[in-house]
């Protein structure tokens, strides 16, 4: 699905607790949008920096579907989830090179976290169409890109891809070192 996929071994850095200390606390970022019992989609979860907190927030009645292109990322995510006692809430899937392979989730997802992933994709339009198809009406998408990799012009281009269908921008968000918006499916 990408021409510039982050190497799997960088996942160790991205899952580091230092990231939380440096201003990206997953619980603080996600708590306003994620509730117990929700179905959450996380494309590009890496080794689970956000996935494990998402699983805690959705609780035993919810689930997190984590979709990644790299088998080593998925394997490490599962290992970390098992160690944290959260594996029952997480469904980890491998995607294909050209699709998230989530057609079976049509109209089932309440919330999607697309954090630092869209800039790695060759076709943001396709990505957001797949997310839209999986999302219920009223579902939200937290879409964020790292300022160090994505300038404002590129982020706005990606945002146009996101809003080409049924997503609208409901709020501009302030997340440290990120361009970020909250989208809603209408």
Chain segment 102-126, per-residue pLDDT in tens: 999 999 999 999 999 998 888 999 9
Asked which of 18-32, 51-65, 160-174 is least confident by mean pLDDT, the reply is 18-32
Helices 51-58 and 71-84, axial angle in degrees (round to 10) = 50
Domain ranges of the chain: 8-185
pTM over 0.75: yes
**Going edge to edge, which strands form the sheet with 39-43?**
90-94, 63-68, 39-43, 109-115, 135-146, 178-185, 167-173
What is the average pLDDT across 76-86? 95
Topology at the third CATH level for domain 8-185: Rossmann fold (3.40.50)
């Amino acid at each position: 699905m990408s021409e510039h996929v982050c190497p799997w071994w960088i996942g160790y850095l991205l899952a580091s607790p230092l990231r939380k200390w440096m201003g990206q606390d997953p619980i603080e970022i996600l708590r306003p949008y994620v509730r117990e019992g929700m179905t959450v989609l996380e494309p590009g979860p890496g080794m689970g920096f956000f996935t494990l907190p998402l699983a805690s927030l959705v609780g035993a009645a919810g689930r997190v579907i984590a979709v990644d292109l790299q088998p080593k990322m998925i394997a490490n995510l599962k290992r970390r989830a098992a160690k944290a006692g959260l594996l029952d809430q997480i469904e980890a899937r491998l995607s294909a090179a050209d699709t998230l392979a989530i057609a079976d989730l049509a109209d089932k997802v309440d919330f999607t976290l697309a954090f630092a992933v869209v800039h790695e994709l060759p076709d943001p339009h396709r990505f957001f169409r797949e997310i839209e198809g999986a999302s219920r009406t009223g579902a939200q998408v937290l879409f964020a890109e790292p300022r160090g990799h994505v300038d404002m012009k590129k982020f706005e281009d990606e945002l146009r891809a996101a809003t080409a269908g049924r997503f609208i921008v409901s709020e501009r968000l302030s997340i440290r070192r990120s361009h970020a918006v909250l989208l809603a499916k209408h």
